[in-house]
Chain A
Amino acid sequence: DIQMTQSPSSLSASVGDRVTITCRASQSIGTYLNWYQQKPGKAPNLLIYAASSLQTGVPSRFSGSGSGTDFTLTISSLQTEDFATYYCQQSYSSPPYSFGQGTKLEIK
């Protein structure tokens, strides 16, 4: 099984900050990596697919990069509505696809 590890598990930041979240796979997964945002009491929402492709309707301040085992999600200038939990997910293996444990982004 492919294990996904996110860091940090939690992060405090201020509006306007540039934030980077990291996801590491236990084996090479090419660019088979997605990022989701989840707000309390809501379903996850797709932000980035295939490592770096921005989902339609997602603000351009979100970006993804990486390949192989190391990936990053970057928010260029944090907005109030970005405070949420972020999950990475690999789709390299056969389903069901594994998620990272999540990164909770909180207001400093």
Chain B
Amino acid sequence: EVQLVESGGVLVQPGGSLRLSCAASGFTFSSYGMNWVRQAPGKGLECVSYISGSGRVRYYADSVKDRFTISRDNAKNSLFLQMNSLRAEDTAVYYCARDSPMVRGDVPRWFDPWGQGTLVTVSS
């Protein structure tokens, strides 16, 4: 069974740092791009970051660029999100989500499955 399990969400003060983890199982982790998506309380979904299967390609939303860093350890089937200079507006449930299978060419992509999420609260 394909499974994604996030961890690391806690209460942190503004300006603080946090590292989220996502443990993957049930598939060949290194063959898939991975994403972090967040959802502020009562709000919609926001894609935060993407990393390719090899880890060589990374993208970030403007809202987190230069503050967050996505990484992965394919030997340990794990995805990470290092979050620095945290702000109140970063408060959200953070989900990891697997990208669709890698294929040659420019084709539609989607996220499936998703983890259960981990709550990050930034407050003094």
B59, B109, B116, B117: which contacts A91 (Cβ < 8 A)? B109
Whether the pair A96, B114 counts as a contact (CB closer than 8 A) is: no
Interface size class of chain A, counting residues whose CB lies under 8 Å from the partner chain:
20 to 34
Known contacts A43-B117, A96-B35, A96-B61; A49/B45 CB under 8 A: no
B48 sits at the interface (CB 8 A)? yes
A34, A94, A101: which contacts B110 (Cβ < 8 A)? A34
- Bound CA span A40–B31, Å: 31
Q: Report A's interface with B, CB cutoff 8 A.
A: 30-34, 36, 38, 42-46, 49-51, 55, 87, 89, 91, 94-102
Number of interface residues of B (CB under 8 A): 26
* Apart from A43-B95, A51-B108, A99-B46: 8 A-B pairs, beta carbons within 8 A: A43-B113, A43-B117, A44-B114, A46-B113, A87-B44, A96-B46, A97-B109, A102-B44
